[in-house]
Structure 1
């Protein structure tokens, strides 16, 4: 686990209850040899030391490597890694199964569910994610929309913050993004 964010703290709290040892970065930092026997590496550090941790985990063959980030930021970070295309494609970002999670605890739950699926050899672990297709789960996908402020994909369902400012309904990951949008809707008009 890399990070001191609320999501990282929630993962650290929930993991042991599922029988998983959750530890910080290995002594001496992330290096391929220090990751032997590790089943999962989750990076939830808001941009700190992400690249080294992700690269080392993929080169070490860690079965589950996840990055907590918006789809836009995650794609940018992963796209810049010095890895093969296959290795970059294997990094799970945004980390976690798509369950409509919004709070740090809910996001941690979705990540741990994806880790469990990966550790248990369930290759379809991403089938419930946006774009995974409803046929994989037997349920229709939740309707989603990008937050025009931060780029995070959010569930467009009752209870999700939204705004009709600018003449079109848009959904947000949190009240802070909604407030920023409503202060300057023209600035975010192109984001959809």
Structure 2
């Protein structure tokens, strides 16, 4: 990424449920508020909405240099793609759990997520990133602008806090012990019946 560039991105399937249209609208709003900034949106993933999302970009006056559709990435390509972002965005309309958000946080990338499903569980609002109302492009654009306007040190601290959050709450040894305890409790309850 270039020194004067601010890169917003996501790695998700291009399906309605993942709110890519909301992300594109919010990016367009943010870009119009900060015309002097070198902003780029990178969307990695394949799916049925690619043509529709490209059409939306055209309708909003966004150019190919503004929004880059990277296609589907292999799993081993994801960390490098995440490390090239200034902020990761996941504004799904529905989501069971935020694995992709945890991956971004583990790469020390601050995140912005919608307040649906398990996404709020994987973000410490204001510390590791921000939580916004679902399907609200205005709210998302305000948080994007806040990230853009913040000093790089503040984003760096958010990224560091995100990695610590992942290690403290989702490290394999920690989650394994929680699962073992849950299994033991199920066995105890089942044995009592």
Give the TM-score normalised by structure 2. 0.42
**Which structure shows the bigger proportion of residues in strand conformation?**
2
Choose between structure 1 and 2 for higher RCO, CA contacts under 8 A separated by at least 6 residues.
Answer: 2
Q: Which has more radius of gyration?
A: 2
Question: Taking structure 1 as the reference length, what is the TM-score of the superposition?
Answer: 0.43
Q: Which has the higher helix share?
A: 2
